[in-house]
Structure 1
Amino acid sequence: MTDQTVLSNTDHRGVTRITLNRADKSNAFNADVMTALINALTNADNGSATRVVVLQGEGKHFSAGADLNYMKATAALSRDENIEDAENLARLMQTLDQLSKPTIARIQGAAFGGALGLICACDIAVAADNARFCLSEARLGLAPAAIGPYVVRVLGARQARRYFLTTEEIPAHQALTLGLVHEVTGVDTLDDTVDMLVDRLLKNGPVALDACKSLVARAIDNQPDADLIRYTAELIAELRTGPEGQEGLQAFLDKRKPNWIQDSSR
């Protein structure tokens, strides 16, 4: 990518690491960063080489939220221009949330404001024990509008009410209790924990993982009525009869690795 505010690199296993690369600004967001993230995520999703996406921040912090100069600029925009800008942030969250590839957020240091939207839109979130989280928008007379649906889905309405309103900082151990992150580990073992999860994901069928994500998205908004039951029946039938399901079953019966697991000795 030519925009160095966001870096994207894919290794031989198909692990794409998308890195917020503004360490001198605590990886704060601006319009260029949002556009670069959308492009990087879209390219990863469309690229056949990508199996897993890890979203991370360079330096001491995952992301401090919105860049101060960017916030000043939005205050001078018209209402219509502000709507367009907010829709770009919403587009970023939706792109990440609906990515067909598994996503892991690797979090250290500050994760404020819009950064929580990114974390909640990822499938898996792993934090260092020095991480701290904050929905700080109300301090500025604002609300976490574009990221709100993703944060409420993760925290639930009761906890979202508290942290939207109080803007208090959430330490890593509390974020784990709230379900904001899946694991908390030491700073020195953060990469090891992320790598362990990447390895687990790479052992699973890519088509199956996409189907699992679609299943969760469908099930979370619907009661198990006749339509949902029919959807789940058709989904498993499609997977069982598809080439990946056939390969997975045959590999199990043959006591060998399925063809989507690469040789780790490379």
Structure 2
Amino acid sequence: MNFETISVSVDRRGVAALTLRRHAQHNALSGLMIRELTAVAGLLAEDRAVRAVVLTGEGESFCAGGDLNWMKEQIAATREERIAEARRLALMLKALRDLSKPLVARVNGQAYGGGVGLISVCDAAIAVEGARFGLTETRLGLIPATISPYVAARIGPVAFLRFATSARLFDTAVARDIGLVSRIVAPEALDEAVEAEITPYFAASPNAVAAAKALAHALAPPIDDKVIEMTLTRLADTWETPEAGEGISAFLEKRKPGWVLADTKA
């Protein structure tokens, strides 16, 4: 499997290591990475030799959200183009969530926006001490719409409301309390903890694991085409507001947007 923004390797037990490989950009999601993750999800789903998948990031970050150049492209895009691009992200997340194999996040560092979305589609997440998290879209005048069905399903509507509206950052202790991550470990214990998480699956029937995972999703609120289209529409509507224009411009110009009071530390 040869990719530009990710790498995949499968060991003799059938554990696939899926690594985001844009460390210079803190593994931010680009259009190409979204397409490659979608493709690899399909390949892993069809590979009967794969028993479990571990998703992680290269370097010190797990995934810092949307890529800067990808964001710039959205500024010049039409409404239809923005919806199409957001749909690609939504379908990538759905493909990973619906993967019939256990999917465990090895959270090696910070995760913001789309990075939180990636963690949310995993069955479990082991996070390194000191990692930081956030749904930071409202700082840009946007909303975490595309990732919202997965994040809200993971952390619950109350926690989603608090963090999606305020864009506040939170630490691993909070992430564990709200259910985003399963366990917190020191950096030197991260691989051992991930190993402990995936080991039980080898005593379980692969077909039964897949069926149990599908059952768990069937018992949760549905994330179907109707829900996905609703989030895409809401995101497109928000992109067209004056505050989104101001927020994105401020971000690119490395200044505070107009709604931030001069005497605040936001």
The TM tier, using the shorter chain, reads 0.7 to 0.9
Deviation >3 Å, runs of 4+: none
- Do structure 1's residue 196 and structure 2's residue 196 form an aligned pair? yes
CA contact (8 A) 1:110 1:132 kept: yes
Report the alpha carbon displacement of residue 4 of structure 1 after superposing the two structures with TM.
2.4
Give the corresponding residue for 2:260: none
Please say if residues 130 and 187 of structure 1, whose CA atoms lie closer than 8 Å, have aligned partners that are also in contact.
Answer: no
Identify unmatched segments of 5+ residues in structure 2.
223-266
Give unpaired runs (5+ residues) of structure 1: 223-266
Contact 1:108 1:131 in 2 (8 A): yes
Corresponding residue number in structure 2 for 1:126? 126
Asked whether the 8 Å contact 2:134–2:168 carries over to 1, the reply is: yes
Query: What's 2:171 paired with?
Result: 171
Alignment-derived partner of residue 94 in structure 1 = 94
User: How far off its partner does 1:160 sit?
Assistant: 0.7
Who is 1:15 aligned against?
15
Q: Secondary structure at the match of 1:36?
A: helix
The answer to whether structure 1 residue 105 and structure 2 residue 105 are counterparts is yes
Measured in 1, the distance between the counterparts of 2:196 and 2:118 equals 21
- Alignment match, 2:47: 47
| 1:68 lines up with 2:68 in the alignment | yes
Alpha-carbon contact 1:53-1:103 (below 8 Å) kept: yes
Deviation string 1:25-62 (CA, Å, 9 cap, x unpaired) is: 11011100000111111101111111101111010010
Structure 1 partner of 2:160: 160
8 Å contact kept, 1:108–1:130: no
Answer yes or no: is the 8 Å Cα contact 1:8–1:16 preserved in 2: yes
Equivalent residue runs for 1:212-231 within 5 Å = 212-221=212-221
Counterpart in the other structure of 1:3: 3
**What CA deviation, in whole Å up to 9, does each residue of 1:66-103 have, x standing for no partner?**
11111011111111111100000000110011110010
Aligned to 1:59: 59
Q: Tell me the number of residue pairs that the alignment of Structure 1 and Structure 2 aligns.
A: 222
Shift of 1:131: 1.1
Q: TM-score, normalised by structure 1?
A: 0.81
Which structure's relative contact order is higher, taking Cα pairs within 8 Å and 6+ residues apart? 2
Distance between the aligned counterparts of 1:207 and 1:53, measured in 2? 15
SS in 2 for 1:133: strand
Q: In 1, are the aligned partners of 2:153 and 2:220 still within 8 Å (CA)?
A: no
What residue is the counterpart of 1:183 in the other structure? 183
1:162-210 per-position Cα deviation (integer Å, ceiling 9, x unaligned):
1001111110011011111111111110110001112111221101101
Work out which of the two has the higher radius of gyration on C-alpha atoms and give 1 or 2.
Answer: 1
TM-score (norm 2): 0.81
| Deviation string, structure 1 residues 85-138 (Cα, Å, up to 9, x no partner) | 000000011001111001001102210010111101111111011211110111
Question: Aligned equivalents of 2:106 and 2:63: distance in 1?
Answer: 11
1:69-84 matched pairs, under 5 angstroms = 69-84=69-84
- C-alpha distance in structure 2 between counterparts of 1:82 and 1:221, whole Å: 26
CA–CA separation in structure 2 for the residues paired with 1:110 and 1:221: 28
